[in-house]
A and B are shown apart, each in its own frame.
Chain A
Amino acid sequence: MKTAAYRSNRRAEESSICRLPDQGTVLRPGRKRGRLLYAIVVAIALMCATGPAAECRASWNLSLDADARGRVASGSEPDATLNLFGASLRKTFADAKGDRLVLFALFESEEGFDESRDESLHEIYAQYKGPMGAWNITLGRFGLPWGLLPNFSASRLLYDMPHDRVLGMDVDSGIKLSGVQGIFDYGLSYTRGYGPRNTVDAGSHGIATGRIGITPGETEELSLGLSGALGRSINAHGADHDEPDHGDPDHRRRDDDRALQRAVVGLDSTLYLGRWLIRSEVSGGQVDKRGMRAFFAGADYALRSNLDLNLAVNLSRVDSETMNEWFAGLTCRLPWFILRGEYRYVGYGDARNQITIQLYRFFSYTW
C-alpha cells in the first residue's frame, strides 16, 4: 500500500520507463549504474564458470510465491486484489574446497488496493563465501544488515515494520561484508541509498549500515543485535500510510522522493520462549535533522501445530509527529496455502480500523 504522493511519482516515472529488448526487465531512466551492477554480477558468475573453479558443481533453487488479499477498512469499500507475486532463483557454485559463490535474484510484482503496481528486481547479488562463513563478500542489491532484517522480513505478512522510516528502505545496492564467528555474527555494508527502486534523483546518496549480533547458548533461543547507519538515502520505500498533515508550512511529507541524512542506531532481539516467538526492534537518531524514534514488536504464539496467534505493534515518532499501528491476527497453515487474517488499528490518518484476509502460497524446488 503506497501513499498518494508516492503513487503519483511512480506514475510519472512509468511514462518514461525503458525496457531491455530481450528481457522485459523494467528499469528507470538513468539506469546505467544499475546495468553496470548487473553486468558485474554476471561477470563474476562467468569468472567462476571459466576460472580455476571451473570444475565446480552448481545447485539451483527456484522459489515462487503469491498472495491474494481482501480488505475491509473503515470509511472505504471492501476490496480484494492479487497482491503479490515473487520469483527467486538461487544458484550455488562449489569448488573442491566447498561452497564458494552464490548468485541470487528476486523479482517481485506487487499491486496494492489502490491499483498501483510496483515491479522490481528486488534483490540481485553475487556472494563470495569465505571458509566456514567467517567472511562473505556480497555485491549487488541485497538486504541491509540492520536490526531484524538479516533473519526476518515482514514483506509477506500483514503487518509492517518501520524500516522505511528508519532507513528509507530494506534493500539497497552496494557491497557488504558479513559472516559468523562463534556466537557472533556481523554485517557491514556501503550502499547507494536508492533502495530497490533505483531512482536517480537530485542530491547525493550513500549510506553505511552495520550490525553485530550475538546468539549465546546451544539452543539459540535468544539473539541480540546492535545496528547503526550513517549517510543519505531515499525517503520512501513501501511506505503504506498517509502522513499526518499538521498544517505546518515547514512540514515535509516523508513520502517525497528525496535524499535524507540519517544517523541512527538500533537494538533488536529475537526470543523463543516456549510457544512464544517474540521479536523486537528499537531505533533512534536523526533523520533529515529531526529526532526520530521507532519501535517494533511482534509476537507469535502457537495455539496448535498449524495455528498461530500473531500480535504486532509498529510505532514511530519524528519530532512531535507520532504514527502508531496495532495488529492482531491468526495464521493457519493449510495443506496447500497459508491463510492469514488480521485486524489492524491505525492511530493516524483516515482508515482507523482495517480487517485483512490473505491467502498465500509458497513453492520451493532445489536441483
Chain B
Amino acid sequence: MRAIRLPFSSIVFFLILGSALPAAAQEAYLCVWRNPERTMTRIFPDARDYKSVTARISAEQRAVIEKTLGYELLPGQQDQFQYYHMLDAGGSAIGTIIPSTQKGEFGAVEFVFGLGPDTTIKGLYIQRARERDQAFKDRAFLEQFIGRSAADRQAIQQVDGGGTTPGKQAVIRGLVKELTTMDTVAAAVGQ
C-alpha cells in the first residue's frame, strides 16, 4: 500500500480541525433550513421581509437554559441561536420565526414555528424527518401548540401525554428547548 500523501497545507488544516475546535462545533444538529421563505409566508402571510439574527449563547446563559431544561443542549446548538425577525412593509417586527432541529429515532427532526408579538406560537410546520411513525406531522397534533408560549413549558410537555411516538417527543422536546433558549437570549438583549 502506498504511503498516504499529506501535503503540508492539508496537514495543517486537519490538525487545526482536530485539535483547536470544540466538539460542539460539529455539524450534527445545526439547523439547515432549505427554503425558509415558503414556510415564513405560511405562518406570517402579512410579512414583507425578514432579518436573520444569530445570537451568541454565553456560558452563563447555556447553564441557565440547561438547568431549566434538565438536559444538555445538542452539539451545534450550544453557543449560538439563530432566528428571524419577520417585518411588515414599514420594517416593523410582526413576529419571529425559529427553526429547530431535534434528535429523533432515525435522525434529525427539523421543524419551524413562529411567535407573534405576544410571544405565543402562531404556527408550526415540519420540514424534514425520516421517522418510522409519521403521526407527528398531523395538523391535529401540531395545532395543540398554537397559542402556547415559553411560560407554558410544562403544559407543552404534557401534550399528547408527553408524546406517544419518538417523532412527537422530538417535536415537544425541540419546542420547549427553543422557547427556553429564545426566552433566555431575548431577555439578555432586551428584545
Contacts and interface: CB of A to CB of B under 8 A. Distances in A.
B37 A78 contact: no
Contacts, number: 148
B129 A272 contact: yes
B189 interface: no
Interface stretch (A39-47, A161-169, A259-267, A356-364): A356-364
A363 B35 CA distance: 22
Given A81-B4, A98-B51, A366-B54, A219 B10 contact: no
A335 B26 contact: yes
A84 to B, nearest CB: 9
Contacts of B129: 272
A109 interface: yes
B40 interface: yes
Interface string A167-186: 00000000000001011010
A132 B52 contact: no
A364 B13 CA distance: 14
SS of B interface (majority) = mixed
Contacts of B17: 64, 66, 361, 363
Interface stretch (A13-21, A274-282, A287-295): A274-282
A118 interface: no
A133 B137 CA distance: 26
| Size class of the B contact interface (CB-based, 8 Å) | 35 or more
B18 to A, nearest CB: 8
Interface string A287-328: 000000000000000111110100000000000000000000
B1 interface: yes
| Size class of the A contact interface (CB-based, 8 Å) | 35 or more
Interface string A332-363: 01011000000000000000000000000111
Contact of A97 (B35, B38, B87, B131): B87
Contacts of B87: 97-98
Contact of B47 (A117, A132, A305): A132
Given A82-B6, A94-B51, A274-B134, A220 B127 contact: yes
B49 interface: yes
A96 B106 CA distance: 41
A64 B1 contact: no
A23 B75 CA distance: 34
B14 A82 contact: yes
B51 A218 contact: no
A274 B49 CA distance: 34
Given A133-B36, A305-B105, A115 B5 contact: yes
A367 B54 contact: yes
A204 interface: no
Interface string B96-129: 0000000111110000000000000000011111
A231 to B, nearest CB: 27
B1 A366 contact: no
A219 B5 contact: no
Contact of A85 (B9, B26, B37): B9
Interface of B: 1-2, 4-7, 9-11, 13-14, 17-18, 21, 23, 25-28, 30, 34-38, 40-42, 47-54, 56, 75-76, 80, 82, 87, 91, 103-107, 125-132, 134, 137, 139
Given A79-B1, A218-B126, A302-B106, 5 more contacts: A66-B17, A82-B4, A98-B91, A117-B7, A219-B126
